[in-house]
Amino acid sequence: MEKIVKPKLIGMTLDELQGVALRGKMPKFVGKQLAEWLYGKRAVSFDEMVNISKKNKEWLAENYQIGRTAPSAASRSSDGTVKYLFKVAGGYQIESVYIPDKDRATLCVSSQAGCKMNCYFCATGRMGFKADLTSAEIMNQILSVPPAPKRGEQPMTPLTNLVFMGMGEPLDNFREVKKVIDILTASWGLAWSPKRITVSTVGKLPQLKELLDDTQVHVAISVHTADTVQRESMMPAQKAFPIGSVMKLLSGYDFSHQRRLSLEYIMWRGVNDDIAHAEMLVKLIGNVECRVNLIRFHVIPGVELKPCSEERMLMFRNFLNSKGITATIRASRGEDIAAACGMLAK
């Protein structure tokens, strides 16, 4: 007999939680209490919910599960970065990366197991697509990291920022990612400013337009080369979502104030690291207000690409700066535990 899996409460919106309460013949306000326990107080059991009656908690436990599961493994880098492994439905495993930096802590969260985009240079893309994560599986990563300290341990810095830059293309699983953004930013949820959240994408249209219209989160576009022929050979998404069309869409939005647009640019030796490529990037950007993050390539098995030199990265950055474009070289974190950009694969 097939085991019945109870629906998970984390990952539900306030409307959905109120619907749960009404199905259990409870007052609608119990849905708001559930939201406070799940997101504000991060309860892991129904027993913690002291302002909900015993009868109602018993009904909830019979019909639902909270949905919190601890990481099944953790790897710690010499630079303080921690990579967490989570088990998800279907027997798959996904990874999240906790990146501390002084009084800040960023979680690089996964939205899929694997990825459909098949970018040549990315370990996640090369493993293929396995499954979309549910809003519950995405929220579990956020609520479970950093874990509570064990006795005698110093507590880790609580999360201050979130980047959808882990496994998967967030806009390929937009419905679930959007639910998570709503939970993160709602007053009944975690009440975060959307400026604490960045969504990274190859530029999947029309979901990118929905993200821009319906949220105020930061956006990061994976460009990596402005040479369209070269980009299509390395990023198959270029054929369906040309980077020129992506930039045209972005040009219709205001990124000159608090909302930030970043262009991600991994640099490979002898491939996209010369002045000609920098000039193509300047032309692509045009008058769009953005910053460029230059990223060191992290070698992965089966990929015949090499990192470019530090000198090339500096030259490229300085050239962009001279053209009035803010460009920075992103610090590499977690490479020794295969947690750096493009290395996540399980």
What letter would DSSP give residue 207?
Answer: H
Residue with the two structure tokens 């974190």 = 333
> For residues 227 and 244, what is the distance between their CA atoms, to the nearest angstrom?
10
Check residue 340 and give its pLDDT.
62
pLDDT-derived band of residue 343, with 50, 70 and 90 as boundaries?
low
What letter would DSSP give residue 112?
Answer: E
The two three-digit tokens of residue 225, written as one number? 């080369």
Q: Is 308 a catalytic residue?
A: no
> For residues 157 and 40, what is the distance between their CA atoms, to the nearest angstrom?
17
- Active-site residue identified among 58, 95, 108, 335: 95
Mean pLDDT (whole number) for 137-153: 92
Check residue 153 and give its pLDDT.
86
Residue 204 has pLDDT above 80, yes or no: yes
- Active-site residue identified among 115, 119, 308, 341: 341
213, with CB counted inside 10 A (0-12, 13-18, 19+), is exposed
Q: Is 95 a catalytic residue?
A: yes
> For residues 334 and 329, what is the distance between their CA atoms, to the nearest angstrom?
16
Peptide bond into 206 cis (omega under 30): yes
H or E, element range at 262: strand 261-267
Mean pLDDT (whole number) for 186-199: 98
Closest of 205, 198, 213, 227 to residue 290, by C-alpha? 198
Q: Each residue of 54-99: pLDDT tens digit?
A: 999 999 999 999 999 999 999 999 999 999 999 999 999 999 999 9
Is this model's pTM higher than 0.75 or not? Answer: yes
- List, as own/partner pairs, every contact residues 249-256 make where C-beta atoms lie below 8 angstroms and the sequence separation is at least 24, other chains included: 249/205, 249/208, 249/209, 249/212, 250/212, 250/219, 250/221, 250/288, 250/290, 251/286, 251/287, 251/288, 253/212, 254/289, 255/288, 255/289, 255/290, 256/289
H or E, element range at 243: helix 243-250
Contacts of 244 (CB under 8 A, 6+ apart): 228, 284
Distance spanning both ends of the chain, measured CA to CA: 30
For the chain, the maximum distance between any two Cα atoms, rounded to a whole number of angstroms, is 70
Check residue 331 and give its pLDDT.
87
What is the dihedral angle through the alpha carbons of 112, 116, 122, 127, rounded to the nearest 10 degrees? 80
Residue with the two structure tokens 């098949």 = 118
